[in-house]
Structure 1
């Protein structure tokens, strides 16, 4: 055998060994993550915050320290890689999270399912549906920005779904970092009973590590990536402050935790275990928020945060999840508590909380609340009773899918080929009529006309619209017959712009967006009675229905709702015809008479009427109700409502006067200002109709240093001149303007 052949054989053996070792490593890793842990060793957490608070960077560090990824990358993608959780090209270019992304990892033998959510208010539904299925959350706050507008929105969403949370004050390395001020804002603005369980050792460029107040020790993060943790005594010059903050922590806990409160009153010194148990009890009951500190970008404070997630946030067995059994049309039904035990003895119950269309078909994200699901099983959509056979079960690591054979209660997973809507309940027994609480979807506030630039792209345009409206319930599409144009509606200009860009990138369909349109509403100013008779006779059976009652405005805090009340007594209107009256009222409220916008904030009280033994039908009462509402249009007094936005603008303090003046010009009401170290934040309430184009204007006023965010606040009556413009524009479009000659006379 020649030397050349020997060398070749040795190379082949080396290559084979390398392939074998990589395969062994792959399968051992797959088995490690596929292993089912007991219920106590599972955490389902979300990472939520205001824009640019460092959520995705924090998730990147968590995945690195838990061994899920081998290297960390920047969010903006400066190295042309970008963060793992920002899998969409558009996210990496803009440096923002657009879609929530799910992953799972292992820390200290605990399985942690993580959902990284967007911070921008335009993508708030992503946060909404993530918090619906999670057991706990990490609320990330910027050490400079503190509690900002979207922080308050996220806080309200956590409250809606009773999600316990930890607060993590990030970006201690930034110029102007002040965690003490952020804690005060949490207490004053968010009404949290919050206290530090960690203190920073130095701020800005002097950030060295953190002090653990419960364990009374200093933690240092050594090594190039902060992965070597070193524990030491609290530095001498920080001991007095650490003792004071520890006492403050115990005091805040004693107010909400009975066992620790008794120890406090008896002047007993609580042990480390006592404090940790009290923090856990109070956090789970949402009566206390532990505050941790760190800087994800500089690799400090992430590992203690992971430890706190395990110690203080609930496992799926500690969260009570309920479902409605045999739900009726009016929403009533028996409420049952689901059993989260990880076995197959209980029927499977899961909730579809997010839809995503991929090249393989529709990907449906689900959370398993009860029982077990295996590949090959059949499940039923509780809403439609459709049967689905499970051919593939996957768990998501950002955009990567990892196959599993079964999932148990507490797991978050995904399925292919399931025709459903976001918020549908799935069971494995068709007889089980169960419904889990659905997901709150806010109404869109901005509309724009949309059309493909090239008529040849209409097929791709239709496919893109069908996909995006299914994935995102806040992105809506409709055809306006009056103006002969197609409209898309969403949560803001950025929301609609992102979808326009995605159509061009993903479907090769360039589109034109028209001028933004605001979702105005029409409402009544004072009650108005009605008595309407609908009678039609043209041979054979006719139509006969009479309705009488009152239409009245609802209170201002309910001015986005419509209410129907059946106050009839006796048999003048048979009960089977009342739903027809309600449908007629709701149908007519789809378009008002002043400006063509929807009617809201109105209550329809049906008090009396009449029917004919032969000629009355549900259709006749439907038409009578429509006639009654139109009669009230003419007789009653009406006004137009517009959406008011809560605006938060931040800029260097020398531009404060200019910015406030400009907000006043736009019809804004300044509700407050706040200054810190050369920067000012202005809070205002401004009509959405006046906010278009503000981003560019603010940048030019502040030499590119200013930024703003806004979120929906409420509907409020618009100014008389705005109302007059809207009415005139509508009349011009409908061709019903009064004759100018007559109006002059």
Structure 2
């Protein structure tokens, strides 16, 4: 959030100032309890501005149901690992939930500056504990207090962060001499894994023709969206090293709402199966995935819009309860601050005030084109 311009100062979890952890209890305990939703913007490598709708989910084992609800409405996820602990029991739980909903995900090996940080052990644990294929996209340069930066295995260069700039600036340099062999080895593994999903690329590779960098990126994107494998990155959020390349990777490899198959639902009247595509011109359909009490606004219903567009003041039908609801205020949330908006579109996550009957898992839609989306557990 600090990098995308949504936060003006960096909050450290251990001093109770982490931006997304906004309930008093969370700030005292230094963990995320509820899923905070926020909207932010990031300019990708191509210079185009992208909008991210982010849900920061709890990592603590007591709050598993919150994670499950969030995964249901997400298009993509980043699994955070602690470089010292690797795959923890809670990682396995969340991973299984993400598998259930077929959520494409990347992996970020965080806390590379921590004592005992071991990137390669974490890579191994993804295979042995999660049974998943991690496609290593970066190698760390140094570890613990010596963690300086990363090697980009696509561009085959090194990014070294400047300590005095709070991690905001870095230099692109040649790969250190003592890491060249390892970088070559891991780039080879990366290419070997990604060409397997494309017959033509595989044939070229077997004939000694290597894919160019853009082709590699395209294959990584395809394999990630199809949940064949998971691109893996590393860094330290605390020291802000590795965060910017991770944001670029979200743009490059995780799906936009347009990459996701149409959501299936049941026709409210005939019970026939119908599809709704992520398109603003389709009839409105959205899923309520969280209800929260806000000290200033009252009850807020968080909803993911799957199709169509929603305007403030619109009447919608809750097809699960067969009740009409009117959208009073519509808010875009930034963890603990809010901004009133007039309209929202397919792919957006919004907070709605003024709904009386809606509970978690209900479908809200156009009264003239009613649908029931798959009910949440």
Tell me the TM-score normalised to structure 2 length.
0.94
1:185 to 112, 117, 125: 125
* Contact 1:152 1:190 survives alignment (8 Å): yes
Matches within 5 A, 1:363-442: 363-418=300-355, 419-429=357-367, 431-440=368-377
Match of 1:154 in 2: 94
CA distance in 1, matches of 2:265, 2:25: 40
Q: CA deviation digits over 1:650-685, x for unaligned, max 9? A: xxxxxxxxxxxxxxxxxxxxxxxxxxxxxxxxxxxx
How many residue pairs match? The answer is 369
Q: How far has the Cα of 1:313 moved from its partner?
A: 0.3
Match of 1:346 in 2: 282
SS at match of 2:185: helix
SS at match of 1:69: coil
SS at match of 2:158: strand
Q: What's the RMSD between the two structures over aligned residues?
A: 1.5
1:144–1:259 CA distance, 2 compared to 1 (3 A): farther
Match of 2:74 in 1: 134
Q: CA deviation digits over 1:302-340, x for unaligned, max 9? A: 000000000000000111132322368xxx943222121
Give yes or no for the alignment of 1:84 onto 2:19: yes
Match of 2:28 in 1: 93
Q: How far has the Cα of 1:434 moved from its partner?
A: 1.2
Match of 2:3 in 1: 65
2:191 to 240, 243, 250: 250
1:434–1:357 CA distance, 2 compared to 1 (3 A): same
Give yes or no for the alignment of 1:297 onto 2:238: yes
CA distance in 1, matches of 2:198, 2:28: 47
Give yes or no for the alignment of 1:124 onto 2:61: no
Tell me the TM-score normalised to structure 1 length.
0.48
CA distance in 1, matches of 2:130, 2:141: 26
SS at match of 1:150: helix
SS at match of 2:283: coil
CA distance in 2, matches of 1:381, 1:226: 47
1:356 to 292, 295, 314: 292
1:228–1:433 CA distance, 2 compared to 1 (3 A): same
Q: How far has the Cα of 1:89 moved from its partner?
A: 1.0
Q: CA deviation digits over 1:582-633, x for unaligned, max 9? A: xxxxxxxxxxxxxxxxxxxxxxxxxxxxxxxxxxxxxxxxxxxxxxxxxxxx
Q: CA deviation digits over 1:405-452, x for unaligned, max 9? A: 1001011001112121100001122x4341111223xxxxxxxxxxxx
1:327–1:160 CA distance, 2 compared to 1 (3 A): farther
2:177 to 236, 240, 246: 236
Q: CA deviation digits over 1:494-546, x for unaligned, max 9? A: xxxxxxxxxxxxxxxxxxxxxxxxxxxxxxxxxxxxxxxxxxxxxxxxxxxxx
* Contact 1:320 1:338 survives alignment (8 Å): no
Structure in which a larger fraction of residues adopt helix: 1
Q: How far has the Cα of 1:229 moved from its partner?
A: 2.6
Q: How far has the Cα of 1:163 moved from its partner?
A: 0.5
Higher relative contact order (CA 8 A, sep 6+): 2
Q: Which segments of 5 or more consecutive residues in structure 1 lack a partner in the other structure?
A: 1-62, 441-745
1:173 to 109, 113, 116: 113
Greater C-alpha radius of gyration:
1
SS at match of 2:130: coil
* Contact 2:276 2:282 survives alignment (8 Å): no
SS at match of 1:65: coil
Q: Which segments of 5 or more consecutive residues in structure 2 lack a partner in the other structure?
A: 44-48
* Contact 1:323 1:434 survives alignment (8 Å): no
